[in-house]
Structure 1
């Protein structure tokens, strides 16, 4: 199936590793040119080289911190200068501070501030600057990676859940205001996804992984590939009548009807 992404320009934030990196590769595999935004120049340059070698599209490293206004401004200027606009923006963010704690134990204001700036304010700053670049030459797509914990809070995830809920609310407002310009705005909300640790080893012990598998009706962990496929679908031509929505990838963990 032709997803209509060949030759489009896509931005992926927080993409120097993990899920963001995989999303950038998945969009490039569909023929999209990709702008890569994260703090690590070396990792971005290596990823850009991999993308161009594997998929023959243009990959542009854009080092910067989405929490910093000057870096967000520079990113928008670079996108306009290098590509003349933007078709797809994937707002991926970093993790909340570790270690994870029970909500009643989250009393450190610095941790709350760090989570706010990383997971909510950074996404807002990028969205504010990139949506004006969309819609002139065709439909635009804004997709945020949030968490299914927004709809069913998971233990010890308060720092993440609170601000990703904020991202969900912000994107719902954007969807209402940008639809007339042909821009769709949606969230992908994963949970219980197999995520390699930065060292390359599994993020969970065997016992932890088994416990997490029991939290959903499919009795397994989700894959990075499945999350990437959801993002690519929402970026596609075929998803053009979906906006203001959240697509959960949680193996049935969330038990609500809606």
Structure 2
């Protein structure tokens, strides 16, 4: 291992499974101390077990990213445990299980729930995490967008709206905090085989086949493949990359 994150502290949301769990393991293997953050306490505890099994150092934080007081407490707990904060990975996100739901069919409550987790959660982590990155002398923020922000793909209107907004927020933050040594980028995955997409198969059983056939590489990504892209953005190897949208979609958006 190159230990590309040696000496760094990473705050990863949505770390109870899927891309977040994979990132926690990958970042820890590369030398980062990791705060694994999720509303699913049992799932995030399992992530910590896997990180430690791989020889990494991490703490579990039970947190609803749409709740400001919980986010503030989670950031404070991370700094208390590790002394600083260098990386924010806003990975937490939800979508409607019916990926073909229309704006007419979507309840207001469901619209707001997705907005609160995906967009408000990203805002709150940045709001309370950025001051700690400034104190540490700079850092990297990775916000999770999606190909749903770039093309007309299934996911539902609220999900797509949040992902487009995250790209705009990313560009704003990148311009605002560049002189403070903070880089901010958006990671836009295509179809990734995670617990979230697995749950969608209960509504649309052909999801894996259809999504794989629509992807030029002919398959969905494993969470570790997305985590490796996040690792690049978190590391000093991407030191001249900010305000970018890094697409990791197996070619989905080129066809």
Note the alpha carbon deviations across 1:55-94, whole angstroms, 9 max, x for none. Answer: 2x32111111111111011112212222222111100123
2:40 alignment counterpart? 40
SS at match of 1:153: coil
- Written as runs of structure 1 = structure 2, the 5 A alignment for 1:6-155 is 6-55=6-55, 57-155=56-154
The size of the alignment, in residue pairs, is 255
Do 1:3 and 1:236's aligned partners in 2 also have CA atoms closer than 8 Å?
no
Aligned: 1:221 with 2:220: yes
Supply the distance in 1 between the matched residues of 2:220 and 2:204 (Cα, whole angstroms): 13
Note the alpha carbon deviations across 1:231-256, whole angstroms, 9 max, x for none. Answer: 00111111010000011011111138
Do 2:65 and 2:121's aligned partners in 1 also have CA atoms closer than 8 Å?
yes
1:176 alignment counterpart? 175
Do 2:103 and 2:157's aligned partners in 1 also have CA atoms closer than 8 Å?
no
TM-score, structure 1 normalization:
0.90
Query: Relative to structure 1, is the Cα distance of residues 186 and 71 closer, same or farther in structure 2, using a 3 angstrom cutoff?
Result: same
Supply the distance in 2 between the matched residues of 1:173 and 1:199 (Cα, whole angstroms): 33
- Written as runs of structure 1 = structure 2, the 5 A alignment for 1:212-251 is 212-251=211-250
TM-score, structure 2 normalization:
0.91
* Aligned-residue offset at 1:108: 1.5
2:166 alignment counterpart? 167
* Aligned-residue offset at 1:3: 5.6
Supply the distance in 2 between the matched residues of 1:193 and 1:167 (Cα, whole angstroms): 19
How well do the aligned residues superpose, as a CA RMSD in angstroms? 2.4
Supply the distance in 2 between the matched residues of 1:112 and 1:211 (Cα, whole angstroms): 25
SS at match of 2:183: strand
The worse-fitting range, judged by mean Cα deviation, of 131-140 and 186-195 is: 131-140
- Written as runs of structure 1 = structure 2, the 5 A alignment for 1:182-201 is 182-196=181-195
The worse-fitting range, judged by mean Cα deviation, of 6-15 and 187-196 is: 187-196
Identify unmatched segments of 5+ residues in structure 2. Answer: none
Supply the distance in 2 between the matched residues of 1:80 and 1:164 (Cα, whole angstroms): 28
Note the alpha carbon deviations across 1:15-57, whole angstroms, 9 max, x for none. Answer: 11111111111111111110011112233223223212312x3
The worse-fitting range, judged by mean Cα deviation, of 102-111 and 148-157 is: 102-111
Identify unmatched segments of 5+ residues in structure 1. Answer: none
SS at match of 1:185: strand
Query: Relative to structure 1, is the Cα distance of residues 221 and 101 closer, same or farther in structure 2, using a 3 angstrom cutoff?
Result: closer
2:2 alignment counterpart? 2
The worse-fitting range, judged by mean Cα deviation, of 102-111 and 181-190 is: 102-111
Supply the distance in 2 between the matched residues of 1:79 and 1:220 (Cα, whole angstroms): 36
* Aligned-residue offset at 1:198: 8.9
Supply the distance in 2 between the matched residues of 1:105 and 1:247 (Cα, whole angstroms): 32
